[in-house]
Amino acid sequence: MDDTRRAFLDDLLATPSPSGFETAAQRVWTDYVRGFADRVDTDAYGNAVAVHEGNPDAPTVAVTGHADEIGFIVRDVLDDGFLRIGRIGGADRTVSKGQHVTVHAEEPVQGVVGQTAIHLRDGGDDEYEDVAGQFVDVGAEDADEAREHVEIGDPVTFSSGVRDLVGDRIAARGVDNRAGAWAAAEGLRRAVETDVDATVYAVSTVQEEVGLQGARMVGVDLDDVDAFVAVDVTHATDNPDVDRERRGPIELGAGPVIGRGSANHPVLVDLARDAAEDADVDVQLQAAGTRTGTDADAFYTTRGGTPALNVSIPNRYMHTPVEVIDTDDLDAVADLLAAIGSAAGDAADAADPFAVDI
C-alpha cells in the first residue's frame, strides 16, 4: 500500500465514527473521493455516494462499506460525577473495563472505564458486568462538574489508535468497518483509472451496526443499480482461540473472502470469482447459509431482489479495540472491486447480466 492510500486509511481509522455520529468520518471519506469521482452526494442521515459515470448501456454496480463503528453512549450522570453508559451496536462487555475512552462532547473529554483493582475483588467475583453496569470516570468530583463537560447522549469510543505490527499487518479499533469504506473508495478510484465501461458507485453507509439502516436508505435511493457489492470484515480463524473446525478456514494474508449462499447472488459470485482470476487476485470462499450479517442483507431485499454480494476482509478480534488485518488483503479487495466493475462493463451487451437461468 503506497503512502497516499495508507494516509487515507489512517485518517479514517483515527476519526471516531460510532453509529449515529458518523459525520466526521464521512467528511474524510468524501474529501478523498472528490479527487476522482464525477459526483459526490450525501443524504439527510449522512450516507455518502460517489459515482464514476460509465457507458449508459453498461450495467451499474455499487461497491459499499459502512462508516460506523461500535461504541457507547452516555445515558446518565451520577451524583458523584461518574457516567453510566449504554451500548452503541455490539459493544463487548468483556473488553471495556480498564480501557481509556473518549467522550465526544462539544469538546472531547478523556476518561476511563472503571475496573476495581484485583486486590479488592473477591476471588470468585470475576464475572463481567453488562455494559449498563459499568461506568466512565472522567475525573469529575461531582455531577455538577461532570455536566460542565459532558451531557446525556454524548457518544463514547475507545481511545486506541492505529498500530503497525510485524510485516503488513495493523491493529486498530473501528477496522470494522472503515476498512470496508476505504476499500469502496479505493475500488472506485482504481475503476476510474482503468476507465471501466460500467457506471460504478462507491458508497459509505451509516448505522450498519444498529440494523443495516443506512443500506436500507441507499438501496431505495440508488434505484438504477444492477448489483451491490458490500465490503465488510469477517472473522479470521487463524489465531489460537478460534474453533476453525466450526467456522471454516479464513486466514489473514490469503486474500479477499467471497461469500456464497444467502444474499450472495450466484451469478454475481461467479462474476467476482472470474474477475479475481483475470486480475490475478487470490480469494477465499466463505459459506453464508442463513445471512451474511452485513449490508448485503439489506441491499438485496430493499427493492425487490437486487443482486448483491458480500466481499470480506479477514479480521482478528472483531468488536475489540485491537482488531487486526493485513493491509495486503485490503489492497487486494480494492483490486477485486475494480475488476468486478470492469467485468460488469464487459457485459454491456447482455439484456440482464445478472439474471439466473431458470
Q: What is the pLDDT along the chain (358 residues), one digit of tens a residue?
A: 899 999 999 999 999 999 999 999 999 999 999 999 999 999 999 999 999 999 999 999 999 999 999 999 999 999 999 999 999 999 999 999 999 999 999 999 999 999 988 888 876 667 788 999 999 999 999 999 999 999 999 999 999 999 999 999 999 999 999 999 999 999 999 999 999 999 999 999 999 999 999 999 999 999 999 999 999 999 999 999 887 676 779 999 999 999 999 999 999 999 999 999 999 999 999 999 999 999 999 999 998 899 999 999 999 999 999 999 999 999 999 999 999 999 998 876 665 777 766 6
Q: Is 319 among the annotated ligand-binding positions? A: yes
- The CATH number of 3-69+173-346 is 3.40.630.10
What pLDDT does residue 248 have?
Answer: 77
C-alpha 88/C-alpha 171 separation (Å) is: 21
CA distances, 240 to each of 121, 165, 173, 316, 331 (Å): 29, 18, 21, 11, 26
Domain chopping of the chain, boundaries: 3-69+173-346, 72-158
Cα distances (angstroms) measured from residue 252 to each of 102, 200, 245, 332: 30, 28, 17, 12
Answer whether 3-69+173-346 and 72-158 agree in fold.
no
- Beta-bridge partners for 100: 112
- Provide the Cα torsion 7, 273, 65, 30; round to 10°: 50
Q: Which residues form the catalytic set?
A: 208
Let me know: does 208 contact 39? Beta carbons within 8 Å: no
Q: In whole angstroms, what is the distance from residue 282 CA to residue 251 CA?
A: 12
Instruction: Retrieve residue 170's grid coordinates.
Output: 495493523
Alpha-carbon gap, residue 97 to 117, rounded angstroms: 11
Looking at the chain, how many residues does it have?
358
**346: annotated binding-site residue?**
no
The CATH fold of domain 72-158? Elongation Factor Tu (Ef-tu); domain 3 (2.40.30)
Annotated binding residue 66: yes
Kindly give the residue spans of alpha helices, DSSP state H, lying in the chain: 3-14, 23-33, 93-96, 143-147, 175-193, 213-221, 244-247, 266-278, 296-302, 327-346
Which residues fall within 8 angstroms of residue 296, CB to CB, at 6 or more apart? 228, 230, 259, 263, 264, 308, 309, 310
